[in-house]
Structure 1
């Protein structure tokens, strides 16, 4: 990947490094154990602590540095074209409950910013879903109507402050853009001051459901809790079979300084051109930082560098010459019926909960999940609890075509990846510096990469989640599973779940 697309780092992580937290080094007992320290996990921990319960957050990496650290950071209830689909699949009442829950989440975040005095570049701005294709105007107009019926202050417009014309757009006023890590790290600090336990570099690998529940960490420590919340973005436990109802996707992000006078004031997204999302944030010397996102793809199916190049070309075409400062990729999970899965983990669960399937809108949905899960743990049931219930069946069946289409792709990998080792070829000498390949070496299927110094790195090519073959992402120097989105570094260490175990080392 050429340097013209900026340094490979998230602006949010670069500008808010955070205070290191210790790893768990002993067995502990708490009322609520939260697995995952992103927006959903920290929001849930905050809410249950406010209810008077002791809580521990167990994060495999750094707090708010996983998926949340790579977001585009829009806190909005306008989720592309979701409301007309919800009106069709969940009825007008379901769409209203969705809109109401998302708006309440935005309000809750605003309350905490004021209450805790959080400095997080909080800005109120309108959100837009737009189309440039005149053939899609009726679709956008229908979304404006559905969103308005769902309770959002939505309107159909044709004028925006984008530097190019649009055929039509949904506009929703008073949405929010902010610095997600500054917000969440401040929340974590307040939680710690109140007695909450926060642990980093503490990977959870086992769950025993019962009364009480028990979690086991990679280091062998036990966390005993009355309630457990799995907020790892993609659930790390398969007993609920949620992996069959989730499809992972990655998108790339570019940033570039832009003169404040030319910067769009709103937050924009379009499903056209393989998705384009645009917003800005305060930057240096009175300028704004343009943040452009898009080019979604399934992990392990294409190289991030190609998508970054296309996005850079698009941004330059529409905004003029740009000096790109940052580039990164983010990963999201789509549920088979559009709505996130937040609630009890599976039908037999009594004290184990999950939050997943945010479909690219994890900030508002993560805050919503904290409110919903804390209420359920407290014995209360918000009006939208059934809407998000992971145990729902009817809507999944109504969305069967989309569900079956994705599962067919996964099935191809399950079957093909077990045949490939016997028909594959290639040589270690074929692996160039900075590249990687899946090869059959000494009877083993190996994921072999060569770093820039020429040194070989070899690990098992079978994902430790369910055994699909990984593929190499040259731009990010990572092995990715196309089935469920697990990601590993060149030495096999887990970068992203649902896998919790590393790829085995291979001697080549």
Structure 2
């Protein structure tokens, strides 16, 4: 299908803020934070506010990666997490999870007021609902588990959605906001406090010790007592977290609706591959922007159809339930799921003394990232909040995690071996049409070949530079994606998203299509 990308993320239309320089040479600091999304910026700001020298390093521009493409819900109601956390970790762990996540919601409200950041913060209830009567028992159990965890949750059979539901969990006192407005305000205050931010600075190497040292792709270095790795998917593999993280990508569509059609809350259902709904201000009186998320899938896979077809399904769902809707924005977001449903925030690995990580927020990176910033700042300052062990990446619960780990590794092995077999891709470069991309076997090599709309070929190595899996083409985003660990590259091979830190090698290929020059 011909895919019209329209505008990208609604949040990315906001002014990017002042450009920060790239790191040049060597600098020293107390704490180096790698990654300029919500987890990294919140960690850096919390530390700077407490008087600690901080350097933040971002591979692109701050707040433009996953954080710039979120749906920006601030909530402690994370689908059906409480019944699961209680069953795996116990009732006390569920209470700690609830308390730490709700504190993160309140932290954003508190800080935005303190710093005068106008980030379109709106306090609204959050809902997890189902349209399937067969799924209501699970929601009743979730409402009970959330209530036991200390949240004012309730079970309902009606909501303010314009269509009937079979059951829903409701949690008051949650929030939605504009993530980039908030984080750019936080970054400005971080610099006012003496923190340094370097953009266009990709970190590729970490040397642990006393002190630690991080090195960029250009060979520049930061020497620091502590290092925080907040790159969404950790870019350093020594912790083997890639065996316990599952990347998932979700699509987002948005368009204006009359304000009287605003359902007045944040809504999530696991039905149909997940559907999430919220609204945002448009700046136009009487209008709101409807934002719908869903079609969750593993990057680099297309078992349920090409990505463009997924967007079409999501738009159809939105129009069926909310009426006529002109889609003005389409984008996608990505996050990582841990094997026990709880994020990894703490020591990078069992032997780490001064290196920390924040990852695995399972689609709830706004509250999770703020929580991570507070937790990591406290740990670096020598304090351990009550929920430290709950989020510690070093934890391992074999009864729950080992089966999930084995499933993940079986999926990786399938792609690692199966994707190299003959016959899985286009037979020749000539089979790749305008706007298309495919892996092609050329002279014994697997090449990722894209032909742009003008007919020009762009060929790169098809082997992901992370661990060597074969990339697949995303037709809607014109990108190469690794189905093993979620790394993403543009058609020229440049890294768009980690854990890969090195680009795909450019390759020369002869165009064998009839009529080619």
Distance in 2, matches of 1:151 and 1:304, equals: 40
Counterpart in the other structure of 1:413: 415
Counterpart in the other structure of 1:356: 359
State the shift of 1:51 in Å: 1.9
- Map Cα deviations across residues 429-482 of structure 1 (whole Å, 9 max, x no partner): 111011011111133211111011110000000000000000011111000000
State the shift of 1:121 in Å: 0.4
Matched, 1:315 2:332: no
Counterpart in the other structure of 1:490: 491
Q: How does 1:181-330 map to 2 (within 5 A)?
A: 181-286=180-285, 287-302=287-302, 303-330=306-333
Task: Give the SS at the match of 1:183.
Answer: helix
Distance in 2, matches of 1:102 and 1:428, equals: 50
Q: Could you state the TM-score of these two structures normalised by the residue count of structure 2? A: 0.96
Asked if 2 retains the 8 angstrom alpha-carbon contact of 1:60 and 1:203, the reply is yes
State the shift of 1:399 in Å: 3.2
Query: Which portions of structure 1, spanning 4 or more consecutive aligned residues, are displaced by more than 6 angstroms?
Result: none
For residue 332 of structure 1, the aligned residue among 312, 335, 342 is 335
State the shift of 1:58 in Å: 0.4
Distance in 2, matches of 1:208 and 1:399, equals: 29
Q: How does 1:68-87 map to 2 (within 5 A)?
A: 68-87=67-86
Counterpart in the other structure of 1:36: 35
Distance in 2, matches of 1:467 and 1:34, equals: 27
Task: Give the SS at the match of 1:261.
Answer: helix
State the shift of 1:25 in Å: 1.4
State the shift of 1:398 in Å: 2.1
State the shift of 1:403 in Å: 2.6
State the shift of 1:219 in Å: 1.1
Q: Could you state the TM-score of these two structures normalised by the residue count of structure 1? A: 0.97
Matched, 1:403 2:405: yes
Task: Give the SS at the match of 1:7.
Answer: coil
Distance in 2, matches of 1:453 and 1:336, equals: 44
Asked if 1 retains the 8 angstrom alpha-carbon contact of 2:464 and 2:504, the reply is yes
Task: Give the SS at the match of 2:470.
Answer: coil
Distance in 2, matches of 1:448 and 1:140, equals: 46
Gaps of 5+ in 2: 510-517
Q: How does 1:123-162 map to 2 (within 5 A)?
A: 123-162=122-161
State the shift of 1:425 in Å: 5.7
Asked if 1 retains the 8 angstrom alpha-carbon contact of 2:426 and 2:438, the reply is no
Counterpart in the other structure of 1:461: 462
Asked if 1 retains the 8 angstrom alpha-carbon contact of 2:5 and 2:476, the reply is no
State the shift of 1:6 in Å: 6.1
Distance in 1, matches of 2:21 and 2:160, equals: 46
Asked if 2 retains the 8 angstrom alpha-carbon contact of 1:421 and 1:445, the reply is no
**CA-atom RMSD, angstroms?**
1.3
Distance in 2, matches of 1:423 and 1:32, equals: 47
Asked if 1 retains the 8 angstrom alpha-carbon contact of 2:268 and 2:276, the reply is yes
Asked if 1 retains the 8 angstrom alpha-carbon contact of 2:49 and 2:193, the reply is no
Distance in 2, matches of 1:93 and 1:241, equals: 28
Asked if 2 retains the 8 angstrom alpha-carbon contact of 1:447 and 1:458, the reply is yes
State the shift of 1:422 in Å: 8.5
Counterpart in the other structure of 1:102: 101
State the shift of 1:373 in Å: 0.4
Count of aligned positions = 505
Distance in 1, matches of 2:506 and 2:282, equals: 43
- Map Cα deviations across residues 240-298 of structure 1 (whole Å, 9 max, x no partner): 00000000000000001010011110100000110000000111322100000000000
